[in-house]
A and B are shown apart, each in its own frame.
Chain A
């Protein structure tokens, strides 16, 4: 028989020490948590700061006010007959070069962008009357001048910029072309629209394929399938698929969609199908969890007044599970939007200078465009790369915002 236990002394030194240790552990845990949050916040702030710092310059461009004396120029155009054909035959690049040399000096060709003539052509098209007088037209500056004006360039370019500044010819304009143009070789002329549209089309294909199939799979597995070793295998396979590295899906897309089915290469259709393979397991897992969390009492209630199993699923379970399913879907879609590797495998890294007209046209997507630009030699692409990253991040933020909006809209409380 053991000895009688003494009553606990809640005020003893050992007890006090235990309490002190407990509080210390709590403080340590809190401090560690705070440190982790601060560290990640600092990284995020650093990322955003450098991105915006570099990227915002990509949305602006340096322009040179070019004085064009049309009557004195070697331009042969009839103001009454301004057609695309006439403009194309007028040898505008040559004329622009001559005019620029007259206005800016011998080194003018190094100052204005090789595509400066497009600005002059557009000005003539907008108002043919200017052909009869001297007109000042803002033309984009060459990459070297652009860089020197915005930050730091080569010594010659810096000198040219100083000269232009003194003459009051330099201005900074918003580069609308960056949002409306597509890929190109001249960094002053490239834009994000082609890649943006490609991303949009690819996401559309991904959503149309993966959402219905993923939701149907989740509903079947949760509501209909009897538990057996067969459903266990399916469940394990789906969980594994969600963890497969994305490049493997690219190889799968390459060998099945391109080599076996001969679908068009580099197209949003194939990109979307490949990304759908990757997104579907995420939707199935999120969907099953959302369906599981619908209270069984709602199923009982509907069955109890004679709703058929299909009515129970589509009129009660699915509407209640929808917010969770949508959240999972958008997380999966956001991951697909940022995916590069599988798309490289199916040829979406081609140089494509026109925006795709449909899902079978050659296209590229935002992350691939960023990857391609980051590889360019020309210095002008650095800020374009950062600007493209800002567009991609804005796209992602918009999608996540949509997810939160949809979840709040459909969420029912009881």
Chain B
């Protein structure tokens, strides 16, 4: 394990929810992530920024082992959730993904009713004690996702009949319904219009503190608006990691400065 740099030490929070130390990801022979160390806690939203193909999405997907579905992917280093190594053989991947939920780039509701979309997760994990309890979970999750008022009269309509922004909030509600500890968002607004984007960003603000949130975005204004910590990735390396306002106003690295001033990306 490589020692943490001084600035990382200063950012290391008192009780991190997730920690990553010297994480390397390989796709076959190709190395996609070159030794990344980062902490995620409940009080700060962490944003990953960087040009396309820099590895930010790949790194995000190692945090709940979604990369397991890629046969050629190999992960080295240590990632912990509450101090427990998530790549240890004793870790149950299914439970891990319930605790570390994910929202994808393209809204992907199940082709089922709105109610079923939310209820599916709690049902497979046995979180509801009955129909009435499930109704409560569905309403609570949809309220937290800011979608309740728009869909409460048509819970039996198909989730795929909603607009793009509503679908994405439905997906966030679906992730919330299983009471995860951390929510990973992989460019959740890249397929949405500005108004839908604003609603999702508002939602992220409201969810902060209750869940640890990590968001990948290539919209730098969005990173500045929603996050308190920003990590800049370039060519598989973590170039700079710090308090969001510092990164945007006073970047230490030349590459970070070039990127945020739009010289490449």
Contacts and interface: CB of A to CB of B under 8 A. Distances in A.
Contacts of B174: 301, 305
Q: In this complex, which of A227, A298, A303, A320 has the most chain B Cβ atoms within 10 angstroms of its Cβ? A: A303
A304 B71 contact: no
Contact of A297 (B108, B121, B158): B108
By size class, the interface of chain A is 20 to 34
A305 B98 contact: yes
Given A297-B104, A300-B104, A320-B111, A305 B175 contact: yes
A412 interface: yes
Contact of B111 (A303, A305, A307, A412): A412
B146 interface: no
Q: In this complex, which of A227, A305, A315 has the most chain B Cβ atoms within 10 angstroms of its Cβ? A: A305
B106 interface: yes
B71 A306 contact: no
A226 interface: yes
B111 A306 contact: no
Q: Which secondary structure dominates chain A's binding surface?
A: helix
Contact of A304 (B104, B106, B160): B104
Contact of A308 (B94, B103, B111, B171): B94
B94 A316 contact: no
Interface string B115-135: 000001100110000000000
Contacts of A315: 120
B178 interface: yes
Contacts of A227: 71
Interface in A277-302: 295, 297-302
B218 interface: no
A315 B171 CA distance: 18
Contacts of A414: 111, 158, 160
B171 A306 contact: no
A311 interface: yes
B64 A304 contact: yes
B121 A301 contact: no
B124 A297 contact: no
B124 A304 contact: no
Interface string B87-125: 000000011111101111010111100000000110011
A414 B111 CA distance: 7
B110 A306 contact: no
By size class, the interface of chain B is 20 to 34
B4 interface: no
A300 B66 contact: yes
A306 B104 contact: no
Contact of B178 (A226, A295, A305): A305
A297 B110 CA distance: 9
Interface string A376-400: 0000000000000000000000000
A297 B69 contact: no
A320 B109 CA distance: 13
B104 A305 contact: no
Contacts of A413: 111, 160
A300 B108 contact: yes
Interface in A64-119: none
Contact of B110 (A226, A298, A303): A298
Contacts of B120: 302, 305, 307, 315
A305 B110 contact: no
B65 to A, nearest CB: 9
A305 B98 CA distance: 5
Contacts of A305: 97-98, 101-102, 120-121, 124, 174-175, 177-178
A302 B171 CA distance: 11
Interface of A: 226-227, 295, 297-308, 311, 315-316, 320, 412-414
14 contacts: A226-B71, A298-B110, A301-B108, A301-B171, A301-B174, A302-B120, A303-B66, A304-B97, A304-B102, A304-B104, A305-B178, A308-B124, A412-B111, A414-B160
For the complex of A and B, the 6 pairs showing the least CB-CB separation, nearest first, are A306-B98, A414-B160, A304-B102, A297-B108, A305-B121, A412-B111
Interface of B: 64, 66, 69, 71, 94-99, 101-104, 106, 108-111, 120-121, 124-125, 158, 160, 171, 174-175, 177-178
Given A300-B66, A303-B66, 9 more contacts: A297-B104, A298-B111, A301-B110, A304-B101, A304-B103, A305-B124, A306-B125, A308-B94, A414-B160
